[in-house]
Amino acid sequence: MKRIITLQDISCVGSCSITVALPIISAMGVECGILPTAVLSTHTMFKTFTCKDLSDQIDPISDAWEKEGIDFDGIYTGYLASAEQCRQVCGFFDRFKKQGNLIMVDPAMADNGKLYPAFDEKFPAEMAKVCAKADMIVPNITEASLLTGMPYKEEYDRAYIRELQEKLLALGCKTVVITGVSYDPEKLGVSSLDKDGNEFEYFRCRCPKSYHGTGDAYASVILGGLMRGLELGDALKLATDYVVKCIEETMASEDSRWYAVDFQTQIPYLCSELQTYTK
Ligand code: PXL
């Protein structure tokens, strides 16, 4: 069994970050270690939330793992609490990068044209340094524009997405996966480009609603899929199909929560789909 480590916050209630990555990646048959970067009462879309930064734990925990000879097949970072923590995470990559393991960065910091409330405008430049060290990054369009300095657009064409991808590759990462891409009002999906020019796109019908936590579920399935040996294109299809199913079921549910997608109820669907790819 492959082992990955994910560095992101624990939002105690809110179904995001570690509380999404841990169940999804485990259900996919991959050991999921965690390095919590902060503990929050909820995610930051709630009006009131607490946040205890755990930056001072990153180095001692890493030291202990190094002494124990623990290593990882994948390193997956999500929401990071501060610019300083971005610098620490770069140091973590330097320590735990090895030949053949995969660093995946979800620069979770913005959506719908806006930075999340906890960040200031200097934060994207620090996150860009984290992305530079990654094998793969999975930004949405808002994050891609903040990382590259390109204008954020709600209406765009393929040339705009291609330029974002090329500028992101120029940061230093090897593969760019942009989520939430749409060239047709009826369709929404994903577009990837790697440094050798390989591209992949996959679209499904656009769901009329969007929910928090879908980016975290998406990234978790991509990483889980890659760890289970899927080609990138198959991992992106699996992640897209799963997230669409989660959104559809959340819309249909009478007791869904405002603050998160119901990713939990569709874990059996995810596992049975995964089997069709790994047979
Ligand atoms: O889902 C991304 C995310 C993760 N962690 C925290 C967040 C958010 C999005 O708002 O606030 C703390």
pTM beyond cutoff 0.95: yes
Pick the atom of ligand 1 nearest to 215's CA: 1
- The DSSP annotation for the chain comes to --EEEEEEEEEEESS-THHHHHHHHHHTT-EEEEEEEEEEEE-TTSSS--EEE-HHHHHHHHHHHHHTT---SEEEE---S-HHHHHHHHHHHHHH--TT-EEEE---SEETTEE-TT--TTHHHHHHHHHHT-SEE--BHHHHHHHHTPPP-SS--HHHHHHHHHHHHHHT-SEEEEEEEEEETTEEEEEEEETT--EEEEEEEPPS---TTHHHHHHHHHHHHHHTT--HHHHHHHHHHHHHHHHHHHHH-TT--TTS---GGGHHHHHHHHHHHH-
Please give, one letter per residue, the 3-state secondary structure of 12-31.
EECCCCHHHHHHHHHHCCCE
If you average pLDDT over residues 190-207, what whole number do you get? Answer: 97
Instruction: Decide whether any atom of ligand 1 lies within 6 Å of the 260 Cβ.
Output: no
**pLDDT single digits (tens) 60-114:** 999 999 999 999 999 999 999 999 999 999 999 999 999 999 999 999 999 999 9
Q: Are strands 187-194 and 199-205 parallel, antiparallel or unpaired?
A: antiparallel
The mean pLDDT value of the chain amounts to: 97
- What is the percent of the chain where pLDDT is above 90? 99
Q: Are strands 110-111 and 102-105 parallel, antiparallel or unpaired?
A: unpaired
Is pLDDT at 274 greater than 90 in this prediction?
Answer: yes
Instruction: Decide whether any atom of ligand 1 lies within 6 Å of the 213 Cβ.
Output: yes
If you average pLDDT over residues 201-212, what whole number do you get? Answer: 94
Write the single-letter amino acid at 126.
E
Instruction: Decide whether any atom of ligand 1 lies within 6 Å of the 191 Cβ.
Output: no
**pLDDT single digits (tens) 25-63:** 999 999 999 999 999 999 999 999 999 999 999 999 999
**pLDDT single digits (tens) 224-265:** 999 999 999 999 999 999 999 999 999 999 999 999 999 999
Instruction: Decide whether any atom of ligand 1 lies within 6 Å of the 138 Cβ.
Output: no
Give the closest residue to 116 by CA, choosing from 76, 77, 143. 143
Say which CATH topology domain 3-278 has: UDP-N-acetylmuramoyl-L-alanine:D-glutamate ligase (3.40.1190)
- What is the percent of the chain where pLDDT is above 70? 100
Sign of the four-CA dihedral 107, 133, 3, 176: positive
> So what's the pLDDT on residue 279?
81
Residue 252: CB atoms within 10 A of its CB come to: 9
Are 120 and 228 within 8 A, CB to CB?
no
Whole-number Å distance between alpha carbons of 80 and 7:
8
Ligand 1: centre distance to CA 127 (Å): 15
Residue from 22, 44, 82 whose mutation best tests the ligand 1 pocket (most atoms within 8 A of CB)? 44
Pick the atom of ligand 1 nearest to 45's CA: 10
Instruction: Decide whether any atom of ligand 1 lies within 6 Å of the 44 Cβ.
Output: yes
Pick the atom of ligand 1 nearest to 11's CA: 12
Is pLDDT at 20 greater than 90 in this prediction?
Answer: yes
Q: Are strands 102-105 and 136-137 parallel, antiparallel or unpaired?
A: parallel
Is pLDDT at 9 greater than 90 in this prediction?
Answer: yes
> So what's the pLDDT on residue 259?
96
